[in-house]
Amino acid sequence: MTETKELREMIKSIDQEIIELIATRMEIADELALAKKSSSQEFWDVKVEKEIIERYKKLCEEVALSEEEAEKIAVLILSISRERQRHFFE
């Protein structure tokens, strides 16, 4: 296998792991939405959202990602999570 094919295979494997982890995160977020609904909490907390974005930025300090990239990743994941949680409250 050529070097580019090997690298692409590595990326493919990592992509699979990323999708599995995001799916697990979303399942837990669904459970969180149900818990919030049953305790009469709002489905979304902007303060918590900001804390999560900051956590992503800190985590990315330890790897080769910029704060801007970390924020983009967090915002995307949170956007998906917010839409999924909203459905439990409609």
Place of tokens 């049953």: 38
Torsion sign, CA atoms 63, 66, 71, 72 = negative
**What is the reported pTM?**
0.88
What is the distance between the alpha carbons of residues 39 and 3, in angstroms, rounded to a whole number?
54
Cβ(88)–Cβ(43) under 8 Å?
Answer: yes
The residue written with tokens 């949680």 in the block is 85
Domains located in the chain, CATH noted: 3-89 (1.20.59.10)
Chain-centroid distance of CA 2 in Å reads 33
pLDDT digits (tens, 9 = 90+) for 16-59: 999 999 999 999 999 999 999 999 999 899 999 999 999 999 99
